[in-house]
Amino acid sequence: MCRATTRLARARRAFLVACAWLAASGAIAQEWTLTDADLAALDKREVLLPPAANPGPSDGSFRAAIEIEAPAEHVFRTMTDCAQALQFVPHLIRCTVLATAPDGSWQTILHEVDYSWYLPRAAYEFRAEYQPFVRVRFSGVRGAFTENDGVWELLPRRDGAATIVTYRAQVVPRFYVPGWIALARLKRDLPALLQGLRARCEAP
């Protein structure tokens, strides 16, 4: 009887842990439905930067979108290539693949960034899970962020000739400066990141 009770307790704990994980990941996993106004802005080659749900200096939520005149496959291959990432990710000075799944479905990647004189050089590892030409989901492993989780999604447009790229993330820095300073810098860099990706993908 005691063993059965113990097994039941363990099962309940496992269920609660699973529910907590799903609840925590739900904020990132929620889909972003673009409105007609959003699509009109993308038609003008604008970078969409919707306001945060809970605006404030300590808000670590990120959301942005851009349209790229290139097929989703080309965009996907560009954004998941370390060598090319060095050409369009702001402040990135090192990109190294540490591990790759046998089937290529995920990688563990090391990034090193040098932001500016008032932010320290930082390194962080993350796991990227790939759904080819559709989605890249990433989660922090260790390094400069206590939380670094999010998703890139690729939405074909114009009969596949163009791609809408959306980015959503939740980030909590671990820098030796006030967190709001680091977050403000990261948010200022987000348009440059997306515009750099577009320029790289659209280059002849």
User: Average pLDDT for residues 104-125, to the nearest whole number?
Assistant: 85
Domains of the chain by residue range: 1-30, 31-202
> What single-letter DSSP state applies at residue 118?
T
Question: What are 163-192's pLDDT values in tens digits?
Answer: 999 999 887 776 544 444 445 556 678 889
pLDDT for residue 173: 73
**Does domain 31-202 fall into CATH 3.30.70.120?**
no
Return the bridge partners of 124, or none.
111, 143
Instruction: Note every long-range contact of 118-124, with CB atoms under 8 Å and residues 24 or more positions apart, other chains counting.
Output: 118/177, 118/181, 119/175, 119/177, 119/181, 119/182, 119/185, 120/175, 120/176, 120/177, 121/93, 122/175, 123/94, 124/148
Give the ranges where 30-97 is alpha helix by DSSP (H). 36-43, 72-79, 82-88
